[in-house]
């Protein structure tokens, strides 16, 4: 029992007894779960382009020194949320998340990255992408100051690529389900869109219609219409606000801050947090913290790592300090709005309401184990959803020789093959096997050395596509399991402190120490 006692006390020592309150959604608004005050996002986009990890990923939350430097300056600016677009889930983020939590700042995290995301031109949603998303969720769900995940950012950005939204919505659905499968708190998952005039109405309704499990929990708009000295009416903000008046989910500006006129005066802040917009919008995220080549920075990082405040920082600070949004109390808020009908297929909108299936490693493994001819080891793979040029060319060739219906996806027609989520190599194996069975010769599995004959391990191909994905197992505490006990205690302490009761959390630790000692 002493091992369990030690682990439990370590859990107490590592927990934050001054954790931020959980932010929850009720209707079309965010609320502080403890104070019951409406929560307005006063955010900043945070994606410095400096540090790149071993796999070519920019991860600003893996640089403790930079986070410790920037968090107090963000707090001084009036920031309560930072939006981060890319992280590496294999890194340790504890120090950075603690720095921002201590500064009173929540994290809004995109789970898609340039390496793992849905390609708007040729959308696919496969097992490696789903697993990458789950890895990010697993890495950040433990932090009290995580406010939400964003499942996609401007994937569909004009009328030419709207079918891609079906794949994003499927990923959003699956991540919501995955989060619910864990024994932790509920974490919202939403979508961030651009402001394209041809699709803005359809896309906002698409992510808010249909099965509640596939609806976005919130909707963000990257809006850059207010440039220089403007007004609520002249800028277009009035029109955008009217379009969301009856929206049933929280909506906010996931990016704002036009820089066609510099330095930026941020006169839109008074409208965003004033009576003209607070009845509809829940605040916004200014783009962006550091000065990069696109010239949107609030601060400049010098070669020595110091921070130089730019005029945009000072101007934004002045406007945020004047912003005093008046919200409603959670318990007094009873308005309920209906979700819209899904948009019809038109010349501008072609995303089906039928979504791709949830990717299942088990289904793909079952399929391959039923085959007599598979892609050989000469067919190599690279990291990510796509295979190398050999696999790509072979898939194209084979799809001209046999039916590809079981491995392809069509987001416009809403048709998805039973193995459309499998890896490119597994798909190629499926096609090789189809052709080999058609030829039925001693050399039918040759394919110029890229095919390999194997003995099937299973004979149940009809059931493979129905195998559900493995959502993972949650370890529960049990007799003699010190690690599980400490983990359970840590979750209990985190949940208590995460709801604002630091005294009770501390008391748990004191009682635990007394009991075990």
Residues known to be catalytic: 154, 255
- Measured CA distances, 494 to 19, 141, 490, 499 (Å): 8, 12, 6, 9
338: Cα separation from own chain's centroid: 25
Whether the Cβ atoms of residue 369 and residue 456 lie closer than 8 Å to each other: yes
- Please state, in angstroms and rounded to a whole number, the distance separating the CA atoms of residues 448 and 388: 17
Q: 3 is written with which tokens?
A: 């091992």
- Please state, in angstroms and rounded to a whole number, the distance separating the CA atoms of residues 206 and 340: 8
Q: 171 is written with which tokens?
A: 């990923």
Q: What residues contact 479, with CB distance under 8 A and at least 6 apart?
A: none
Give the residue from 222, 161, 213, 146 showing the smallest Cα distance to 191: 222
Q: 201 is written with which tokens?
A: 């109405």
For the four alpha carbons of 467, 405, 122 and 369, in that order, the dihedral sign comes to positive
Whether the Cβ atoms of residue 44 and residue 289 lie closer than 8 Å to each other: yes
DSSP letters of 279-301?
A: TTEEEEEES-SB--TT---SEEE
| 357: three-class secondary structure by DSSP | coil
Question: Could you tell me the end-to-end alpha-carbon distance of the chain, in angstroms, rounded to an integer?
Answer: 10
Q: Which stretch of DSSP H or E encloses residue 32?
A: strand 29-32
Q: What are phi and psi of 159, to 5 degrees?
A: -70, -10
- Please state, in angstroms and rounded to a whole number, the distance separating the CA atoms of residues 456 and 367: 10
- Please state, in angstroms and rounded to a whole number, the distance separating the CA atoms of residues 156 and 158: 6
In the beta sheet, which residues pair with residue 37?
329
| 83: three-class secondary structure by DSSP | strand
Q: What are phi and psi of 409, to 5 degrees?
A: -130, 145
Residues 177, 179, 180: CA angle, nearest 5 degrees: 65
Pick left, alpha or beta for residue 92 (phi over 0 → left; psi -120 to 50 → alpha; otherwise beta). beta
Q: Which stretch of DSSP H or E encloses residue 10?
A: helix 2-14
Q: Are strands 23-26 and 299-301 parallel, antiparallel or unpaired?
A: unpaired
Residues 351, 356, 357: CA angle, nearest 5 degrees: 160
- Please state, in angstroms and rounded to a whole number, the distance separating the CA atoms of residues 326 and 169: 33
| 109: three-class secondary structure by DSSP | strand
* DSSP H helical ranges for 123-163: 127-140
């Amino acid at each position: 029992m002493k091992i369990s006692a030690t682990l439990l006390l370590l859990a107490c020592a590592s927990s934050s007894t001054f954790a931020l309150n959980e932010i929850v959604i009720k209707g079309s608004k965010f609320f502080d779960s403890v104070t019951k005050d409406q929560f307005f996002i006063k955010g900043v986009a945070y994606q410095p382009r400096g540090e790149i990890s071993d796999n070519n990923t920019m991860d600003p939350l893996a640089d403790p020194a930079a986070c410790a430097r920037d968090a107090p300056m963000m707090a001084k600016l009036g920031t309560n949320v930072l939006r981060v677009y890319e992280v590496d889930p294999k890194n340790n983020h504890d120090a950075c998340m603690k720095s921002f939590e201590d500064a009173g700042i929540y994290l809004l995290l995109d789970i898609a990255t340039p390496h793992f995301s849905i390609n708007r031109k040729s959308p696919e949603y496969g097992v490696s992408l789903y697993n990458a998303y789950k890895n990010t969720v697993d890495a950040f769900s433990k932090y009290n100051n995580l406010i939400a995940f964003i499942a996609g950012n401007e994937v569909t950005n004009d009328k030419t690529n709207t079918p891609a939204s079906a794949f994003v919505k499927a990923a959003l659905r699956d991540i919501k389900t995955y989060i619910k499968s864990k024994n932790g708190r509920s974490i919202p998952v939403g979508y961030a869109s651009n402001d394209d005039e041809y699709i803005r109405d359809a896309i906002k309704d698409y992510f808010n219609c249909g099965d509640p499990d596939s609806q976005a929990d919130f909707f963000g708009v990257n809006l850059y219409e207010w440039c220089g000295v403007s007004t609520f009416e002249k800028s277009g903000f009035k029109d955008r606000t009217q379009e969301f008046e009856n929206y049933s989910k929280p909506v906010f500006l996931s990016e704002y801050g036009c820089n066609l006129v510099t330095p930026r005066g941020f006169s839109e802040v008074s409208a965003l947090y004033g009576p003209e917009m607070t009845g509809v919008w829940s605040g916004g995220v200014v783009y962006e913290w550091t000065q990069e080549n696109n010239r949107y920075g609030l601060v400049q990082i010098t070669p020595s790592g110091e921070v130089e405040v730019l005029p945009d920082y000072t101007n934004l600070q002045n406007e945020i300090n004047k912003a005093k949004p008046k919200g409603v109390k959670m318990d007094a808020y009873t308005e309920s709005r209906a979700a819209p009908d899904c948009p019809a297929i038109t010349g501008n909108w072609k995303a089906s309401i039928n979504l791709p299936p949830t990717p299942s490693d088990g289904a793909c493994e079952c399929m391959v184990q039923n085959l007599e001819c598979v892609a050989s080891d000469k067919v190599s793979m690279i990291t990510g959803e796509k295979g190398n040029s050999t696999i790509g060319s072979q898939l194209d060739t084979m799809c001209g020789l046999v039916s590809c219906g079981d491995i392809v996806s069509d987001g416009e027609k809403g048709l998805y093959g039973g193995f459309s989520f499998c890896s490119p190599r597994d798909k190629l194996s499926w096609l090789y096997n189809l052709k080999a069975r058609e030829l039925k010769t001693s050399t039918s599995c040759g394919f110029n050395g890229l095919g390999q004959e194997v003995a099937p391990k299973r004979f149940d191909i009809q059931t493979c596509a129905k195998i559900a994905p493995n959502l993972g197992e949650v370890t529960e505490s049990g007799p003699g399991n010190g690690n599980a006990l400490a983990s359970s205690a840590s979750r209990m302490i985190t949940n208590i402190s995460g709801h604002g009761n630091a005294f009770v959390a501390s008391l748990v630790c004191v009682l635990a120490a007394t009991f075990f000692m």
